Copies of this chain bind each other. A is one copy, B any other.
């Protein structure tokens, strides 16, 4: 186990003492303790909140080893001083580590160091260093996730303090809010927020349902974590599956045409077409409740710490009104409306009929948006509106432009794992008004007409960028962002691909906001239950700063760029920037090699495979993925492979590899796919984090998550795909213009592969595989097309970190 804590705030000894007093660790008894050992004893007793009588406390102290042969209770009866050796032997046990299994009972300090657990070193603790060490220990992560103080809270430490008048609420400790809010008595309220528009054309502005969970305390104004999730009111999986498009269709030639961007630019228009409802009355009291929302465990954690949480599914969802427009200005505005209501700038009603207005008077008006995938996408999108009250977003695995999600460089490209999905399929999936047949029946015809039109506008025929996609490109408006942005993305996310966050990362330079990014080795996952990174603590520090205005140095303390290593588990690199390498290393394609000198040959491969193989690959994409196997694979004739010699030293690829090819197709249309591959026998990370079998509490008798961590697979593999990219040979200029292409005409293409940060070990070979049909992502026409690469003008530019 290697501990990594980026949210550990260094504080001086006066603050240590003040915070230990605030949290009742240092009380009158500790202050009055005659000796350091007896002060230590009193502190230790506080780590057993389950027991109250002295005998039982003594018994509990007896369960800890103070020296290799003496328990802590016995030791304390004769101890004259507290050494670091004794302190950290006991500390390791409090941190849930075990002798033999986790640490060397003879050498606790070296075990602390080895696991990167912070220590205060001294031969003999005095009162000040004892407090400092105790404070640091409370803020240190245990073996089983979260800080020791979090674990103590989970075991009831804050229960007696919860309703005491001298307990501040929120209570900040080391710059982070602590669980002193009673999660067993949270308020659950529903309100209906009025938008400015009427997407379902029923003559009334669309109302959007919001589910609010907040502390019962009425004397306190709290900030909001808001997750906009079109999935939260249920999904229509059967209908979505039915609408899913066929992908075993041929690629076709596009009619060449010059297209100016201005001609396809979308101009958002949210002008109201119907009048707002007239407010009939005002109230403080919601009249609708709910039992259980579909929650994000990160939000759950903050419900115990003085934050309200709101979930809303937006227009077209169950209990709301309107249509599902899949990411355009209307859906974004319906999420933005929630922020506006919290901030006091928009009206909400207690129900959909009586026009009784209700204000978020319990809120301090400050909002953070959270969530992954579509949820994080909406966070990003709402941020680009510059809405007041939105102080920050935590945008995880988020889409920054929907074109890049369902298309790429003039091709229909499926999100990994979802061939045939498209914007209309997602609309059908998330139009949860279907779940209420009486309501759905009213809107059915209008909905179907809208959905049919979406099917046309998204244009699967050409795969080109058009006004439909421009309406769903948030990168255009990044300069409007006023909220600070935390981005989280998996470097192995082939659903929402890494360029989505990369484009946002770069575009944010135009906005005058703080930006931070965390890149992990996962696919399309959350990281708030991952043991090796204190993501939840970081967010706690961040939200305290952004939403409660606490001066805790969060912007400076949290690294701007944090990247998980792909070779060594539990290793995170703090960097200054990502994808900012100016001088890229050029490898020329040369006779199957990636080398220093340009080649002179021509390399051909065909697209078509045998009929049986084709059928097999369409149902088993994993089998097709052996395409990249070297030196030979069952698909050797369907690809061109180029490899470096084994690398003399390890390299970091930081950013986007550019593939420049001179290439021709045997017909007058065509597409290319490229994969960058790490060749070398190695035990690599398992694709998914390994569950560690440990429940992770969000508070005292509150909701739970399961701790996980990336581990090395038990077996070595010979290669791993690093990155990929796809391009239509008729989209050499850009994604919206169809260039001409003639059969057997060499053309030059330039393709930026998905950005990465990849640790390529020494002795491995870097490889490029060029092919056409990507069974997991492109259309699959199994067409009789041959592609030929002219090596003399083909190269890759690789951003090796210096």
Enumerate chain A interface residues (CB-CB to B < 8 A): 50-53, 55-56, 58-59, 61-66, 69, 71-73, 93, 98-101, 105, 154-156, 184-185, 190, 236, 238-239, 287-292, 350-354, 434-439, 441-442, 695, 697, 700-701
**With A238-B101, A354-B53, A354-B55 as given contacts, are A441 and B71 in contact (CB-CB < 8 Å)?**
yes
A51-B351, A53-B351, A98-B434 are known contacts; what are 12 more A-B pairs with Cβ within 8 Å? A55-B351, A55-B352, A55-B354, A64-B436, A64-B437, A65-B437, A71-B439, A100-B238, A101-B238, A154-B291, A291-B697, A292-B701
Contact between A438 and B184, CB atoms less than 8 A apart = no
A353 proximity list for chain B (CB < 8 A): 55-56, 58-59
Contact between B99 and A437, CB atoms less than 8 A apart = yes
Which B residue sits closest to A59, measured CB to CB? Answer: B352
Cα A241 to Cα B186 in complex, Å, equals: 44
Q: CB within 8 A of A437: which of B105, B352, B697?
A: B105
For the complex of A and B, 6 pairs with smallest distance between CB atoms: A71-B438, A63-B436, A55-B353, A65-B437, A56-B351, A184-B184
Cα A287 to Cα B71 in complex, Å, equals: 23
Q: CB within 8 A of A56: which of B100, B185, B288?
A: B288
Tell me the number of copies of this protein: 2
Contact between A53 and B287, CB atoms less than 8 A apart = yes
Q: How far is the CB of A237 from chain B (nearest CB, A)?
A: 9
A184 proximity list for chain B (CB < 8 A): 184-185
A50 proximity list for chain B (CB < 8 A): 190, 288-291
Supply 28 A–B pairs (Cβ within 8 Å), ascending by A. Answer: A50-B190, A50-B289, A50-B291, A52-B287, A52-B288, A55-B352, A55-B353, A56-B287, A56-B351, A59-B351, A61-B438, A62-B439, A63-B436, A63-B437, A63-B438, A64-B438, A65-B437, A65-B441, A69-B441, A71-B441, A71-B442, A93-B437, A99-B437, A100-B238, A155-B291, A156-B289, A156-B291, A291-B700
Cα A697 to Cα B291 in complex, Å, equals: 11
Which B residue sits closest to A63, measured CB to CB? Answer: B436
A441 proximity list for chain B (CB < 8 A): 65, 69, 71
Q: How far is the CB of A174 from chain B (nearest CB, A)?
A: 22
Cα A434 to Cα B105 in complex, Å, equals: 14
A290 proximity list for chain B (CB < 8 A): 50, 155
A190 proximity list for chain B (CB < 8 A): 50
Q: How far is the CB of A706 from chain B (nearest CB, A)?
A: 12
Which B residue sits closest to A695, measured CB to CB? Answer: B292
Cα A336 to Cα B239 in complex, Å, equals: 55
A438 proximity list for chain B (CB < 8 A): 61-66, 71-73
Cα A238 to Cα B97 in complex, Å, equals: 13
Q: How far is the CB of A189 from chain B (nearest CB, A)?
A: 10
Q: How far is the CB of A432 from chain B (nearest CB, A)?
A: 11
Contact between A51 and B352, CB atoms less than 8 A apart = no
Cα A434 to Cα B184 in complex, Å, equals: 34
Cα A697 to Cα B105 in complex, Å, equals: 44
Q: How far is the CB of A579 from chain B (nearest CB, A)?
A: 37
Cα A3 to Cα B51 in complex, Å, equals: 48
A53 proximity list for chain B (CB < 8 A): 287, 350-351, 354
Q: CB within 8 A of A439: which of B63, B101, B291?
A: B63
A56 proximity list for chain B (CB < 8 A): 287-288, 350-353
Cα A154 to Cα B239 in complex, Å, equals: 28
Q: CB within 8 A of A51: which of B93, B239, B288?
A: B288
Cα A225 to Cα B299 in complex, Å, equals: 34
